[in-house]
C-alpha cells in the first residue's frame, strides 16, 4: 500500500486545490442542488472533484446522508472499516482495537443497513489464513483482501464497533473454494444480496460463483439471515457474479457477470428480476470490463465502471465511470481520469481505476474509490483514495 505521503505527491493539482469544495454534513442536508427525476440521466456531468480520504477503499453512503462508511488499509496493509461525516471529518474505526472484533486481518467492504444501527462487512478469519495451503503469506494476503474475497465471510457490525455477528459459514461448506463479495441491502432493509464462491475451476482463477439473496431479520440478540436463495442467471457457464444495487422498488438487482460467452474479463452489466430469476443484459461489450453498477436514488439512471475508452489492455486494467438510463439506453462516458486532455486527468504511468462508488441520497454526488495502478498488474495491488464527485448537468 502507498503511504499517505506518497499519495499526496501523486495526485494532480485539482485534487489538492479543490478539497475545500467538499460539502460539510450540514450542507449536504441544506441548499445543495438536487438532480431531479426528470433530468437525472440527461447530460449528466461532473462539476467538481474533491479528495476526502487517502488512502481509502470501498465506500457506502448512509441512507440519511449524514455518514459515510469506507475501508482503508492499516500500516501493515490489513483492511479496516471506518465511518466518517461526508466531508471526511469525525473519522472513527469500527474494527480497530475492539474486543469483539472477530479477526485482526481484513475487515471491509461496508454496506449500511437502512436503520443505520448495523453495517454488514466481509472479512477473513485467522484460522482460515493459517490453514490455507500456501507458504506465501503475501499471496494469501492479496487473494483474501475484501476486493477478491477468497475465504471471506459476512459479518454484521454495530455502528459503535462493539458487537459483531457472523452471518455466513461458507468455509465450513466449501473449504478453500469459498469466498464472498460485496454485500448490498435492499432499500427497505429486508433483503441482503451478495456474491458467493462455491467451487474451483481448473485453469480459471475466478472459480465458480453464485448470487445469494437472503431475508435480513433484526432480533434482540442481533441480526440474522433466513430464506437464503441462490441464483445463477445467464445462458452460458458463468465464471463470476458480483452484485451491485437493488432497484428503488427492491424488485430487481444489478449485477456483473460473464454469463453469455464473454471473454474471461469481458464482464457485462445485467438486471436480475428477483421474483422470476430472469436476467436482462444492459451492456454488450464482451471484451470490456463492466462492473460496479448502481441505480441513482430516483431509479432513472445507472452509473457503472467500464474499461471502454480508458486505454485498458489484457495486462493493464484502466477504467472510467459511465452512465445510462435504467433500460440501458443512452450510454455515455462520465469521467476522464485517464485522458491527458481532460481537466480530470490523473497523471499516472500505469493509469487509474475508478472502482466502487456510492450515490449520495440526494442524487447530486458520488463517493468514489479511485485505485492507483502500481504496475502492469502482474501482482494484486489496489492502493487508492476516496473522492467526492459533485454532479451537474
- Give the DSSP H/E element, type plus range, for residue 32: none
**What would the grid cell of residue 211 be?**
448470487
pLDDT reported for residue 42: 80
Q: Please provide residue 188's backbone torsions phi and psi, each rounded to the nearest 5 degrees.
A: -85, -5
CA distances to 74, 154, 168, 347, 361 from 180, rounded to whole Å, are 22, 7, 9, 34, 26
Q: Among all chains, which residue has been given the C-alpha cell 475487515?
A: 107
Q: Return per-residue pLDDT of the chain as tens, 393 residues.
A: 333 323 443 455 555 433 333 333 333 333 333 434 444 688 899 999 999 999 999 999 999 999 999 999 998 989 999 999 999 999 999 999 888 999 999 999 999 999 999 999 999 999 999 999 999 998 999 999 999 999 999 999 999 999 999 999 999 888 899 999 999 999 999 999 999 999 888 877 788 999 999 999 999 889 999 999 999 998 766 679 999 999 999 999 999 999 888 888 899 999 999 999 999 999 999 999 999 999 999 999 999 999 999 998 888 899 999 999 999 999 999 999 999 999 999 999 899 999 999 999 999 999 999 999 877 554 445 679 999 999 997
Contact of 215 with 238, CB cutoff 8 Å? no
Q: What is the pLDDT of residue 376?
A: 57
What's residue 14's pLDDT? 52
Q: Kindly state the DSSP code that residue 8 receives in the 8-state scheme.
A: H
DSSP-assigned letter for residue 19: G
What is residue 150's DSSP assignment? B
Contact between 319 and 353 (Cβ < 8 Å) = yes
What per-residue confidence (pLDDT) applies to 32?
32
Can you say how many angstroms the Cα of residue 54 is from the centroid of all Cα atoms in its chain? 17
Query: Cell for 375?
Result: 504496475
Q: Which helix (H) or strand (E) holds 10?
A: helix 4-10
DSSP structural state of residue 138: H
Contact between 56 and 50 (Cβ < 8 Å)? no
pTM: 0.89
**Cα→Cα distances 105→74, 137, 256, Å:** 10, 12, 27
Q: What is the DSSP string of 66-79?
A: S-EEEEEE-TTS-E
Torsion from C-alpha of 106, 111, 113, 115, nearest 10 degrees:
100
Amino acid at each position: 500500500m502507498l503511504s499517505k505521503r506518497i499519495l499526496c505527491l501523486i495526485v494532480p493539482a485539482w485534487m489538492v486545490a479543490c478539497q475545500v469544495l467538499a460539502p460539510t454534513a450540514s450542507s449536504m442536508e441544506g441548499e445543495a442542488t438536487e438532480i431531479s427525476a426528470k433530468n437525472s440521466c440527461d447530460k449528466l456531468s461532473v462539476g467538481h472533484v474533491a479528495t476526502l480520504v487517502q488512502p481509502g477503499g470501498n465506500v457506502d453512503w448512509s441512507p440519511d446522508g449524514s455518514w459515510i462508511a469506507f475501508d482503508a488499509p492499516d500500516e501493515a496493509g490489513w483492511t479496516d472499516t471506518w465511518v466518517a461525516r461526508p466531508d471526511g471529518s469525525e473519522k472513527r474505526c469500527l474494527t480497530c482495537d475492539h474486543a469483539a472484533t472477530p479477526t485482526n486481518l481484513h475487515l471491509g467492504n461496508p454496506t449500511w443497513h437502512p436503520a443505520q444501527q448495523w453495517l454488514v462487512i466481509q472479512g477473513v478469519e485467522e484460522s482460515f489464513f493459517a490453514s490455507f495451503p500456501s507458504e506465501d503469506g503475501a499471496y494469501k494476503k492479496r487473494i483474501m483482501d475484501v476486493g477478491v474475497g477468497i475465504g471471506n465471510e459476512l459479518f454484521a457490525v454495530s455502528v459503535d464497533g462493539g458487537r459483531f455477528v457472523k452471518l455466513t459459514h461458507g468455509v465450513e461448506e466449501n473449504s478453500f473454494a469459498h469466498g464472498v463479495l460485496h454485500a448490498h441491502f435492499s432499500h427497505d432493509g429486508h433483503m441482503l444480496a451478495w456474491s458467493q464462491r462455491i467451487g474451483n475451476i481448473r485453469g480459471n482463477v475466478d472459480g465458480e460463483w453464485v448470487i445469494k439473496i437472503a431475508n435480513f431479520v433484526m432480533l434482540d440478540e442481533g441480526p440474522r439471515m433466513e430464506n437464503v436463495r441462490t441464483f445463477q442467471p445467464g445462458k452460458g457457464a458463468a465464471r463470476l457474479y458480483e452484485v451491485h444495487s437493488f432497484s428503488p422498488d427492491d424488485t430487481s438487482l444489478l449485477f456483473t457477470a460473464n454469463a453469455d460467452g464473454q471473454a474471461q474479463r469481458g464482464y457485462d452489466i445485467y438486471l436480475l428480476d428477483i421474483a422470476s430469476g430472469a436476467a436482462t443484459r444492459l451492456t454488450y461489450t464482451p471484451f470490456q470490463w463492466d462492473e460496479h453498477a448502481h441505480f441513482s436514488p430516483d431509479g432513472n439512471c445507472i452509473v457503472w465502471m467500464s474499461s471502454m475508452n480508458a486505454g485498458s489492455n489484457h495486462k493493464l486494467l484502466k477504467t472510467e465511470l459511465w452512465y445510462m438510463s435504467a433500460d440501458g439506453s443512452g450510454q455515455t462516458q462520465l469521467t476522464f481520469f485517464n485522458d491527458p486532455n481532460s481537466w480530470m486527468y490523473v497523471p499516472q504511468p500505469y493509469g487509474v481505476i475508478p472502482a466502487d462508488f456510492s450515490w449520495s441520497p440526494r442524487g447530486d454526488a458520488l463517493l468514489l474509490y479511485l485505485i492507483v495502478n502500481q504496475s502492469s498488474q502482474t501482482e494484486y495491488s489496489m492502493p487508492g483514495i476516496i473522492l467526492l464527485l459533485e454532479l451537474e448537468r
